[in-house]
Amino acid sequence: MNSELATALKTIVGEAGFLEGDAVGEKYYSDWRGQGDFRPNIVLRPASTEELSGIMKHCHEAGQAVVAQGGMTGLVAAARPHLNEIPISFERMTGIDELDARTGTMTVQSGTPLQVIQEHAEANGFIYPLDLGARGSCTIGGNLATNAGGNRVIRFGMTRDLVLGVEAVLADGTIVSSLNKLIKNNTGYDLKQLFIGSEGTLGMITKAVLRLSPKPESQAVAFCAAPDFDAVANFLHHMKSGLGGDLSAFEVIWQNTYQVTIANVPGVKAPLSQDHPYYILTETMGGDQSRDQERFEAVLGEALETGLIVDAVISKSHAEIDELWRVRDGLAEAMASQQPAVGFDVSLLIDDMEYFAAEVTRRMTASWPDACVYIGGHLGDGNLHLGAKAGSLDPHPKEEIDAIVYGLVGELNGSVSAEHGIGMLKRAYLSSSRNPAELALMKMLKQALDPGDILSPGRIFAPDDT
């Protein structure tokens, strides 16, 4: 980057928004997957949409590549800077602009942490239902850019279902402000969906109008054990039928994953014995604690009587709810404890999951006899998380494991990314889940909105493939 451009950018953001040299800390080139390969020379921290617009006008004219950064909790290396890229951190663009109780919306700046949004909504009698383990660190802009999923998709949907409008800055600095509060708005293309899930490659989201839900008056959680996978699938149908729209979570943990969680995650206690094939955390949220708890227990009782589950622990207090959720939230840490391992986030039809789990294990052990596969996730919405390791080999055969898992996902017409995005780490397997016509249209959109390829280049598509 030439000194003239650096001077212009520093003029826009000021001393507080311009970091260089030793002031560029590790957090600007590391994420939850680890440290990146390149330490950036400078980092820009705009404080407003207008400042970001000014930055992009200069970068567009100079052909300078940039990468958007939120909480750096991503798992596909999308926010790590490449050589000669300028990271644009949204850490100064934080705050809640408005909570509109009449429309049930909240307008927020993109650098605001998810947990701050959740707490503000709850303090005003609402919930923002998106919830994931990184809630204290991740930012809403990153959530939108990756179309985050989380624990309660079965009831409330993905992030794109929870957003009514966005404001974004395009590659040339144009501000597209579509901060719509209307639920019904059929006035042409839904422009916000261009940016949600695009991982910063089509534009950078600066603000969003979020859709809130009334704060539930009741919550109950059960941790159950099932004898086989057919019982798990039928139990899900049973809970949907018995609870209807009040069913808010249905999380499943395979036996060996449960055992690793209990053994390796501090503060997690075993709610049930460790000798069952499958474990399920299921949750209901409603409007009357006494009535809803009674209904929840009745539906669970029917499942016990018919053999869909063989044991269950039901929460009786908020402390017990937190304790049971701690088991599910411990999955990521449990899988991380089994290093070296390769992590996966895939979507499949429920009818294919049992075969998928068995076949992944078979193919892994055929290549590496001491291989292990750990599985758990949001089965209610078809999303499984895997940790796969080929014993203690060094170097660990990551590419070979990727080929096994993603190859099988492709055979089953599943998705290679359920909720984490594509970034750098999954782009080689994007064609397993997208057909040629879809890929061609995605590339056309990228070319139309970012012809110079300066917005997070190399993410989703390889640099020479756009």
The CATH number of the domain where 314 resides is what?
A: 3.30.70.2190
177 in the same domain as 144: yes
448 contacts: CB under 8 Å, gap ≥ 6 = none
Nearest CA to 149 out of 408, 384, 459, 430 is that of 384
Task: Tell me, yes or no, whether 439 lies in a domain.
Answer: no
Residue 75 lies in a domain: yes
Alpha helices in 248-397 (DSSP H): 255-264, 289-305, 318-329, 331-336, 350-367
Q: Which amino acid is at 374?
A: Y
Q: Looking at the domain assignment, is residue 41 inside a domain?
A: yes
Residue 274, pLDDT score? 97
Domain that holds residue 278: 218-332
pLDDT of residue 234: 98
| Residue type at position 308 | L
pLDDT at residue 151 in the model: 86
Residue 316 in any domain: the answer is yes
Domain co-membership, 117 together with 86:
no
Tokens 């179309």 found at: 147
Residues 259 and 345 in one domain: no
Residue 82, both tokens: 């490449």
DSSP designation for 90: -
Query: What is the per-residue pLDDT for 466?
Result: 66
* Angle value at C-alpha 362, between 333 and 264, nearest 5 degrees: 20
Listed residue (65, 77, 70) closest to 41, CA to CA:
65
Clarify whether residues 254 and 276 are in a common domain.
yes
C-alpha–C-alpha distance, residues 158 and 168, integer Å? 20
Please tell me whether residues 311 and 343 are part of one structural domain: no
71 and 115 together in one domain: no
Tokens read off for 225 = 């054990």
Does 187 lie in the same domain as 117? yes
Residues 78 and 105 placed together within one structural domain of the fold:
no
- Residue 449 in any domain: the answer is no
Within this chain, do residues 325 and 263 fall inside the same structural domain, yes or no? yes
Q: How far is CA 72 from the centre of its chain?
A: 12
Q: Is residue 460 part of a domain?
A: no
Mark which of 310, 332, 354 sits at the end of a domain. 332
Res 394: pLDDT: 85
Number of domain units in the chain: 4
Q: Is residue 79 part of a domain?
A: yes
Cis amide bond preceding 277, omega within 30: no
Residue 222 and residue 210 share a domain: no
Distances (CA, A) of 176 to 47, 180, 206, 208, 270: 17, 12, 10, 12, 50
Q: 33, 66, 91 — which closes off a domain?
A: 91
Is 451 part of any domain? no
Rounded Cα–Cα distance for residues 32 and 36 (Å): 10
320 and 272: one domain?
yes
The verdict on 357 and 326 lying in the same domain is no
pLDDT mean by block of 10 residues, the chain; 466 residues? 92 97 94 86 97 98 97 93 96 98 98 98 96 92 95 94 98 97 94 96 98 96 98 98 95 97 96 98 95 97 98 96 95 90 95 97 96 94 95 90 96 95 94 96 97 97 79
Q: What CATH number is given to the structural domain containing 72?
A: 3.30.43.10
pLDDT at 253: 97
CA 143/CA 124 separation, integer angstroms: 22
Q: Which of 332, 356, 376 is the last residue of a domain?
A: 332
Q: Which residue has the tokens 């640099």?
A: 463
Tell me how long the chain is. Answer: 466
